[in-house]
């Protein structure tokens, strides 16, 4: 068997199995379709998003004919197609694809089902990616009560949605509101993951950055100074997030001429 993480090797093995499976069972047999889906997944995992999208597109009519339009495997294939469209930058097309899957999952699984909520989150992500930050924020906010009710306040998907809401608030310029939302999420992450967990540090960085964005440089400096030892210990002194925090401190203290631009630290 291919080593774990060897997507090229796994793809070759799946293709070998596909040839035998197709001869034995036929092109439309569910077991054959599962292998074709797995091949496309391996293509996506090794970064061939255009090839993976085509492979998913090629298997979709067979899924629809054999399993039906609303079968979970058919909808998973349509979801995967939208994911690959997003990965190669077609955010409008991906959003349309996700919306179609959302309608089907809502109809067949219900609005509160985790698979329905996953695709609803994906729709809001694509809205954000194409620059509709207000619409994305509304999308994330709209699903939050269902996540809290279905999964709980401390579930990773619930916290990811609250983080996404704060991120969209920041993107549209509401830095005070974004800071408050980030702060409200922070205790949940500290309790669940710990202060030094990478996700917690990302959120902490986001709080400090929003403080700086609204002009509270003294407060931001204090946050960056407090988090810097954690970043160095968890991520290392040369990690981009560690260097970004140090750069913010230098600028606030007047040691450099301008604030960091395009700092990626809060993007995960």
CATH architecture of the domain covering 34-130: Alpha Horseshoe (1.25)
**CATH number at 140-268:** 1.25.40.10
Residue-level pLDDT, tens digit, the chain, 268 residues: 455 567 677 777 777 777 777 778 878 898 889 989 998 999 999 999 999 999 999 999 999 999 999 999 999 999 999 999 999 999 999 999 999 999 999 999 999 999 999 999 999 999 999 999 999 999 999 999 999 999 999 999 999 999 999 999 999 999 999 999 999 999 999 999 999 999 999 999 999 999 999 999 999 999 999 999 999 999 999 999 999 999 999 999 886 555 555 443 433 3
What are the sequence ranges of the domains in the chain? 34-130, 140-268
Q: 163 exposed, middle or buried (CB, 10 Å; 0-12, 13-18, 19+)?
A: buried
HSE (side-chain half, CA atoms, 13 Å) at 21: 16
What is the reported pLDDT for 172?
A: 95
Closest CA to 108 of 67, 69, 145: 69
Measured CA to CA, the distance from residue 42 to residue 74 in angstroms comes to 18
What is the reported pLDDT for 2?
A: 55
Question: Which residue has tokens 């949940």?
Answer: 188
What is the reported pLDDT for 266?
A: 38
DSSP helix/strand/coil, 258: coil
What one-character DSSP code corresponds to residue 116? H
| Cα Rg, the chain, nearest whole Å | 22
Q: Do domains 34-130 and 140-268 have the same CATH topology?
A: yes
What is the reported pLDDT for 16?
A: 76
What is the reported pLDDT for 24?
A: 81
List all residues 6 or more positions away from 124 whose beta carbon is below 8 Å from its beta carbon.
Answer: 135, 136, 139, 140, 143, 164
What is the reported pLDDT for 264?
A: 38
Segments in the chain forming alpha helices (H): 7-25, 30-45, 49-67, 72-87, 91-109, 114-129, 133-150, 156-171, 175-192, 198-213, 217-235, 240-252
What is the reported pLDDT for 164?
A: 97
Measured CA to CA, the distance from residue 130 to residue 62 in angstroms comes to 32
């Amino acid at each position: 068997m291919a080593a774990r993480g060897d997507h090229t090797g796994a793809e070759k093995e799946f293709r070998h199995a596909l040839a035998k499976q197709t001869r034995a069972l036929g092109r439309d047999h569910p077991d054959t379709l599962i292998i074709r889906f797995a091949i496309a997944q391996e293509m996506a995992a090794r970064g061939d998003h255009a090839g993976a999208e085509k492979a998913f597109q090629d298997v979709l009519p067979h899924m629809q004919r054999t399993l039906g339009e609303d079968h979970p495997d058919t909808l998973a294939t349509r979801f995967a197609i939208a994911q690959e469209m997003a990965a190669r930058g077609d955010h409008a097309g991906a959003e349309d694809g996700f919306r179609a899957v959302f309608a089907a999952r809502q109809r067949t699984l219900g609005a509160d089902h985790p698979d329905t909520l996953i695709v609803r989150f994906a729709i809001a992500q694509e809205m954000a990616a194409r620059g509709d930050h207000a619409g994305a924020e509304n999308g994330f906010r709209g699903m939050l009560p269902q996540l809290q009710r279905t999964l709980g306040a401390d579930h990773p998907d619930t916290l990811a949605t609250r983080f996404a809401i704060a991120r969209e608030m920041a993107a549209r310029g509401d830095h005070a509101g974004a800071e408050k939302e980030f702060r409200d999420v922070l205790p949940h992450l500290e309790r669940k993951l710990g202060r030094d967990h990478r996700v917690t540090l990302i959120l902490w960085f986001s709080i400090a950055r929003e403080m700086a964005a609204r002009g509270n440089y003294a407060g931001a400096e204090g946050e960056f100074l407090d988090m810097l030892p954690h970043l160095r210990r968890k991520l290392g002194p040369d990690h981009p997030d560690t260097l970004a925090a140090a750069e913010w401190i230098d600028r606030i203290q007047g040691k450099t001429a301008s604030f960091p631009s395009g700092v990626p630290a809060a993007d995960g």
